[in-house]
Structure 1
Amino acid sequence: MKHQLNLGVRTWLHLNRVRFKVEKHLAKHLDCYDLTPAQFGVLAHLQAYPDISQQRLANLLFVTKGNIVGLLNRLEQRDLVQRRPDPEDGRTHVVSLTERGRALAAQVVPEQEKLVVKYMAFATLENQRELHQLLLTLDRNLGSD
């Protein structure tokens, strides 16, 4: 007799499948700008939160200290971000977009948003709100990182 997976497991597996497919589509767009999804995340977060600490940026992106250093090194080499010592705490760095980074973010972030809106257009706004609420509830139930 075949084993029938629990609805929760099937839902989780499908959620992962959909996430993977969306990321694949979004990554294809980012290839036009020679950006990885992680690098895009840095630009988008710095556009939303200018001059934040390197550690806070790592937390927002769910990456380790080592990963954020590598990401920022590559983006600094392209003159998209800059790091400088925090004037209030010399042990930490403040990260911000350069002029070139601001220009790129101003272009690529709205384009990515339009793609996400296009992918979500299958659902009514009410369905999107309900899905968003369900995901928030799941996130809260899973606890802190």
Structure 2
Amino acid sequence: MTDNNDKPGHLARRFQQIAVAVFHAEVEEAGHDLTPVQYAALTTIRSHPKIDQATLAGLIAYDRTTITGVVDRLAQKGLLARHANSRDRRVRELQITDKGRRILDSIEPAVEAAQRIMLRGLTADETDELLRLLRKAIAAGNQLSRAPLREASSEAVRKK
């Protein structure tokens, strides 16, 4: 019989707790207040200018309700701007601001440090293997999630 603390769900949850704590510590030490999901949203918006909120949610695997709060907070911080889509006024296009770009650039060393700290007990080969196995397990279970990861497509990602 497997110990409850050695089951995949428990281990995944514990690793997530550690990952979030390390991310927060490193980013705060760099002088910024940004959560992992805010970071994921900003980097995705930077890569996909004029993306809409629903597409953003799919690309970072967050449900639409949660992403609304994330986008609201990023807009309040002045890190992104929302503009009405010229074809559909109900759709808001998201664009990273200059301030958002500067913050992403300035916290990148902290984010890289966080990644190293999260994996510090592993060799380079073990890190590669862990990431390979995580990607494989996630791909196999993606559609079971309440917020499945969606791939970027030219149709889904609205660009001008």
TM-score (norm 1): 0.80
Cα distance in 1 for residues equivalent to 2:17 and 2:5: 18
Give 2:10's aligned residue.
13
Distance 1:108 1:137, change over 3 A: same
Give 2:105's aligned residue.
106
| Pairing 1:53–2:85 present | no
Cα distance in 2 for residues equivalent to 1:8 and 1:136: 22
Q: CA RMSD in A?
A: 2.5
- Tell me how far 1:95 sits from its aligned partner: 0.7
* Conservation of the 8 A alpha-carbon contact between 2:22 and 2:118: no
- Tell me how far 1:121 sits from its aligned partner: 4.1
- Tell me how far 1:7 sits from its aligned partner: 8.8
5+ unaligned residues in a row in structure 1: which ranges?
none
Distance 1:24 1:118, change over 3 A: closer
Give the match's secondary structure for 1:20. helix
Give 2:132's aligned residue.
133
Q: Which moved more, 1:121-130 or 1:17-26?
A: 121-130
Cα distance in 1 for residues equivalent to 2:91 and 2:35: 25
Distance 1:80 1:16, change over 3 A: same
The amino acid across from 1:16 in the alignment is R
The amino acid across from 2:104 in the alignment is A
Count of residue pairs brought into register by the alignment: 142
Cα distance in 1 for residues equivalent to 2:35 and 2:114: 16
1:56-67 alignment, distance < 5 Å: 56-67=55-66
5+ unaligned residues in a row in structure 2: which ranges?
149-160
